[in-house]
Amino acid sequence: MAKVGITETICRDAHQSLIATRMTTEEMLPALPLMDKVGYHSLEVWGGATFDACLRFLNEDPWERLRKIRKAAPKTKLQMLFRGQNVLGYRHYADDVVEYFVQKSIANGIDIIRIFDALNDVRNLQTAINATKKEKGHVQAAISYTISPVHNNDFFVKLAKEYESCGADSICIKDMAGLLTPYNAFELVKKLKKAVKIPIQLHTHYTSGVASMTYLKAIEAGVDIVDTALSPMALGTSQPPTEPLVATLQGTEYDTGIDLNLLTEIAEYFKPLREKYLASGLMSTKVLGVDINTLKYQVPGGMLSNLVSQLKQQGKEDKLDEVLKEVPEVRKDLGYPPLVTPTSQIVGTQAVLNVLMGERYKMVTKETKGICKGEYGRTPVPIDDEFRKKIIGNEKAITCRPADLIKPELEKLKKECAEWTEQPEDVLSYALFDQVAVKFFEQRKAEKYKIDKDLVNYDDMTHPA
């Protein structure tokens, strides 16, 4: 048995899960040279919601963040999360945008791209897989793990085999809601190790409280790598803490070989940041606890806070239990999609509407119609014809890969954002978050103008005519 690899998530998923992705690049950078010495399998530092948060909330260029991280941690592999044909956005993009995004991600420092699709529709991963292979990156194809009458270990093994035949270099079991229990993890990993010849990585969240035990059983079954977060940003809706797992495996056949003293030193750096986030209210104590009902309702932490927020806006917080009971019903109607971005938001919002309207599907969102129409891809279970007709009427359903219907759009996007472009990557920021990106570009231009103006004024003062 080889030593267990650790992917550290503190610079991406940990703070996405606990503080809505608000850690700044400047807050991360001082710790990165030390993290580079640890001997991690990889550092997960980019993708997911980091791109959106950089532009929308932090006034940061996400590409510049990646370049700075690469410079600060030159030895360790950098990893990102990629939403298949959605890239890092919320719709399907044309293949030329997907390919260009992959090319630029790897050129700016990414080594491993973890690619997933909310419906586990392999067709939605293929372009990103091919592009990553072309750029000599490592393709990690992710299984969006969920539980339903059709989702079982045999289903996931079949999916993993498909991923391997599509060119995946490794497989990730992506348990976004913390639903994978210890003994089931043992069985799933055993079956996967038997079925495929590539490494298996496990990603989970502590939401239901079983995650560290799940990792231990998965490690005993032969999992190659696990995702953890340093303790100041672990637990709750984040990942299991890194240090206790490293300590647990010391001196065993699974020993990670990682120095606990070094981890402690890095954790000390992040502790004051945790206190700062707690004091500001950015980190809520609500996301730090354990809720075993996660296993019952299968609602990821971020989705739960979203449901509460939607009900609060309507003054209907007392309806939460009804909504949580409605979520599995909507999910069943929509063909049992795993609950991960964007399907978690679609199912959750429709469940809220069903409860608040007092009648199921009296009001239907355009996204719910999109799933019924096939705009997001193939659902795990075909949607009932009668139900589909109720939602989209006589509209024709899409049966091909949805992106086959999207014309190349990169050149058009380049023209649209030409006036703001300062680097080739800007077109990709614009493609994903158009108006949000434009606002960022304008701020960037204003700041640059101010700096240039200040330099001219300083020059005038130091060199009088």
Express each pLDDT in 135-174 by its tens digit.
999 999 999 999 999 999 999 999 999 999 999 999 999 9
Q: Is the pLDDT of residue 318 over 70?
A: yes
Report the pLDDT averaged over residues 337-365: 93
The CA dihedral of 42, 44, 45, 49, to the nearest 10 degrees, is 160
Q: Would you call 138 helix, strand, or coil by DSSP?
A: strand
Which residue would you say has higher pLDDT here, 120 or 324? 120
Tell me, what's the pLDDT at 460? 55
Q: Select 3-283's CATH number: 3.40.50.300, 3.20.20.70, 1.10.760.10, 3.40.50.1000.
A: 3.20.20.70
pLDDT band at 465 (very low <50, low <70, confident <90, very high): very low
Distance between CA atoms of 299 and 248, rounded to whole angstroms? 30
Would you kindly state where each structural domain of the chain is located, as residue ranges? 3-283, 298-402, 409-453
Each residue's pLDDT tens digit, 3-16: 999 999 999 999 99
Architecture per CATH, 298-402: Orthogonal Bundle (1.10)
Task: Return the higher-pLDDT residue of 29 and 452.
Answer: 29
pLDDT band at 287 (very low <50, low <70, confident <90, very high): confident
pLDDT score for 197: 98
- Which phi and psi (to 5°) does residue 115 adopt? -110, 130
Give pLDDT tens digits for 172-229. 999 998 999 999 999 999 999 999 999 999 999 999 999 999 999 999 999 999 999 9
Q: Where are the beta strands (DSSP E) in 25-119?
A: 42-47, 78-82, 112-115
Flag whether the pTM goes above 0.85.
yes
Across all residues in the chain, what is the average pLDDT? 94
Rg, the chain, Cα only: 23
